[in-house]
Amino acid sequence: MRKKIIAGNWKMNMTPTETKELIAKLKSGCDVKDADVVFVVPSIDVTTAKASLEGSNIKLGTQNFYFEDKGAFTGEISAKMILDAGAEYVIIGHSERRMIFKEDDKMINLKLKKAHEAGLKPILCCGESLELREAGTYKTFIEGQIKSAFDGISDSDAKKTVVAYEPIWAIGTGKTATSEEAEEVCKFIRECLSKIYSNDVSEEIRIQYGGSVNAGNAKELFGMPDIDGGLVGGASLKEDFIKIVNYKE
């Protein structure tokens, strides 16, 4: 039985001061036991968030790092730095990083390897554009993303990876995939993982859906057999996130 994982991707929002205020609003309502709840904050907010989350079960993550250990990489931060600062999870391969910052499959694979080596728990994102969805080739594309990201990742590290299926056309657009559309792809991703590893391994990997998840659609989406929670953007910055975390009620 996979434990649900519901993560809030704050993106480039919230100063350290605002982080403290937002966590004060969300902390008690999001502190649940039957799901892993993760606040994925900007790296600059990790220390503040860690202090603010003390005494709760809410976990902390951040949104990026560079795959080298240290050195002359001005402006970058390492996996070890974010781990030492208190982050447990990290998002890798978000479509915004792929598109705006030109991160390619090779870099995403290097980051996935480094995250595991450092002891961070990666949330690996994949998902197709509207063009690929309409062309009907989205599954082939997603299979390619999964194969390349997991290249050289061991069975035990694969099990610790969370995959987030985020169709680009549903991110920040208010246009959610229907629960059937989301389930179809999450199930397909599990089949791809089963081919790469085994059925036993793929059954342990948690697969989230992301893209305009809100308080009104979370219950139906998270109720699907292959959807093990969500990666939530916009709605994670509001008290709505409490409703999403408590979607069963």
Torsion of CA 9, 10, 12, 14, to 10 degrees: -170
Residue 234 binds to ligand PGA (criterion: CB under 6 A): yes
The neighbour count for residue 198, using CB atoms within 10 Å, is: 12
As measured in angstroms, the least distance from the Cβ of 55 to ligand PGA is 27
Residue 128 binds to ligand PGA (criterion: CB under 6 A): no
92 burial type by CB count under 10 A (0-12 exposed, 13-18 middle, 19+ buried): buried
Q: Which residue has the tokens 């600062």?
A: 85
Nearest CB to ligand PGA, comparing residues 70 and 175: 175
| 166 is an active site residue | yes
- Catalytic entry in 94, 96, 103, 128: 94
Alpha carbons within 13 angstroms on the beta-carbon side of residue 89 total 25
The pattern of x and - marking residues 175 through 214 that bind ligand PGA according to CB under 6 A reads -----------------------------------xxxx-
Residue 229 binds to ligand PGA (criterion: CB under 6 A): no
Between CA 41 and CA 35 the distance in angstroms is: 19
Nearest CB to ligand PGA, comparing residues 19 and 217: 217
Between CA 190 and CA 13 the distance in angstroms is: 32
Between CA 221 and CA 230 the distance in angstroms is: 8
Nearest to 18 by CA among 66, 64, 56, 52: 52
Stretch that binds ligand PGA, among 50-58, 65-73, 126-134, 225-233 (CB under 6 A): 225-233
| 116 is an active site residue | no
As measured in angstroms, the least distance from the Cβ of 204 to ligand PGA is 23
Residue 166 binds to ligand PGA (criterion: CB under 6 A): yes
Active site residues: 94, 166
Chain residues binding ligand PGA by CB under 6 A are 9, 166, 171-172, 210-213, 231-235
